[in-house]
Structure 1
Amino acid sequence: GKAVRLAGPLEGQVIQLVQLGAAAAIRSEGAVHSHVRRALEAGATAEEIHHALLSLTSTIGFPTVVAALSWADDVIGKAQA
């Protein structure tokens, strides 16, 4: 995974947001937590994470996005505390 992330032109923050979207799409709470944490470490803001998830609404559906936002906020809340 690390070799693939380093091999292309995308920045770490973008890669984590892409992976966050995939985690949300498969409804994996643990993976959403992990990729939110990694996105924050890569420099993403809470607003960018929320926007990335909200942009999935027409693709994965509102209920799935709401669940992912809740899982994201679990991590964001701890990071801001």
Structure 2
Amino acid sequence: MATDKGGLPGHYQSIKQRYPEISDALSNLGSAVRKAGPLNDKTGHLIQLAAAAAIRSEGAVHSHTRQAVDAGATAEEIQHAVLILTSTIGFPAVSAALSWVDEVLEHSHKKDNAS
């Protein structure tokens, strides 16, 4: 997964550049739904992470893992949010999602140690 200096996948950046109006609309929608209720950013990203795992979206799992870390979630909280899904989405899907989470957490850990 190639990423830019901000940690965003190159493919995502390409879509943003090709379709800026759509990208802006999605960003505005995301901001609006976050402001619509009482949940904090960390909880919101953990919920979105769980949904991404449920639909087996590797890119969204990566994205919401990064965003959950940025919002203050610990590795243990992130991993637990995925583990809780075992009886709902099954162990194979949870196992796959945990591997995607671990990729991001390992990259984040390496980046923190390099600073």
TM-score, normalising length from structure 2? 0.70
Tell me the equivalent position of 1:75.
104
- Give the % identical residues: 67
The correspondence of residues 40-55 of structure 1 with structure 2, limited to 5 A, is 40-55=69-84
What is the rounded CA distance, in whole Å, between the counterparts of 1:59 and 1:28 in structure 2? 16
What is the rounded CA distance, in whole Å, between the counterparts of 2:73 and 2:100 in structure 1? 16
- Quick check: 1:27 aligned with 2:56? yes
Post-superposition CA distance 1:34-78 (Å, at most 9, x none): 000000000000000000000000000000000000000000001
Give the number of the structure whose alpha-carbon radius of gyration is greater.
Answer: 2
Letter in 2 for 1:26: I
RMSD: 0.4
Aligned structure 1 segments of 4 or more residues deviating by more than 4 angstroms: none
Shift of 1:7: 1.6
Tell me the equivalent position of 1:64.
93
TM-score, normalising length from structure 1? 0.98
Segments of structure 1 that go 5 or more residues without pairing to the other structure are none
Q: Tell me the number of residue pairs that the alignment of Structure 1 and Structure 2 aligns.
A: 81
Segments of structure 2 that go 5 or more residues without pairing to the other structure are 1-29, 111-115
Shift of 1:6: 1.4
Give the number of the structure with larger relative contact order, counting CA–CA contacts within 8 Å between residues 6 or more apart.
1
